């Protein structure tokens, strides 16, 4: 598919949390964008939640904005791992794939799991505004999410994950 598209002058881009839809789509630059529904490990309910929330409330600003807006019953840790593995969050400049996929030594699971819990905490705090003695609303403070300091994935590691979750390479090719 990508070879044929390149032959006729079309670029196939990896999935992107802000521009991808359920199926393949064309972005503003005329490139074909991989559909979220075609990612192995991201189900229909997750895709519908992600797209509906984006269409209703605008593009996701960063990964924390994403996890605080989605319904964690529809978009799970496994979905976030698959999205990260395929580069769907690569346009967020403050993080990279390895930071989401690496294992948190305190919990023994990936940082994707910690992100889901952090997003739920943000929602809980927003929904439980406490009233002070004088009837003023007071918001609780939330500790800022700390990503691990880890090396970015190599091109080969990215390609291996893309092949696993997308069935094809989108960042390049192992023979290049």
Continuous H helices in the chain: 2-7, 44-57, 63-69, 77-85, 97-101, 111-127, 155-166
Residue 45's pLDDT is 93
Which is more confidently placed, 12 or 15? 15
Residues 45-50, mean pLDDT to the nearest whole number: 95
- Residue range 112-139, pLDDT digits in tens: 999 999 998 888 877 776 544 455 555 5
Residue 163's pLDDT is 93
Residue 58's pLDDT is 96
| Residue 10 in tokens | 């079309």
Residue 133's pLDDT is 47
Give the whole-angstrom CA distance, residue 99 versus residue 155: 15
pLDDT of 93 higher than 70: yes
Residue 132's pLDDT is 47
Do the beta carbons of residue 32 and residue 5 sit within 8 Å?
yes
170 DSSP assignment: S
Which class for 106: exposed (0-12), middle (13-18), buried (19 or more C-beta within 10 A)? exposed
Residues 40-47, mean pLDDT to the nearest whole number: 93
The percentage of the chain sitting over the pLDDT mark of 90, rounded to a whole number, equals 54
């Amino acid at each position: 598919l990508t070879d044929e598209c390149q032959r006729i002058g079309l670029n196939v881009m990896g999935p992107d949390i802000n521009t991808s839809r359920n199926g393949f789509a064309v972005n503003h630059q005329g490139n074909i964008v991989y559909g979220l529904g075609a990612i192995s490990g991201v189900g229909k309910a997750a895709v519908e939640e992600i797209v509906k929330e984006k269409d209703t409330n605008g593009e996701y600003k960063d990964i924390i904005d994403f996890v605080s807006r989605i319904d964690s019953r529809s978009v799970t840790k496994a979905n976030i791992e698959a999205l990260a593995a395929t580069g769907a969050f690569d346009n967020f400049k403050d993080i990279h794939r390895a930071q989401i996929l690496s294992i948190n030594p305190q919990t023994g699971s990936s940082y994707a799991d910690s992100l889901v819990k952090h997003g739920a905490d943000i929602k809980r705090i927003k929904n439980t505004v406490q009233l002070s003695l004088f009837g003023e609303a007071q918001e609780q403070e939330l500790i800022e999410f700390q990503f691990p300091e880890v090396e970015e994935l190599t091109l080969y590691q990215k390609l291996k994950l893309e092949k696993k979750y997308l069935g094809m390479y989108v960042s390049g090719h192992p023979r290049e």
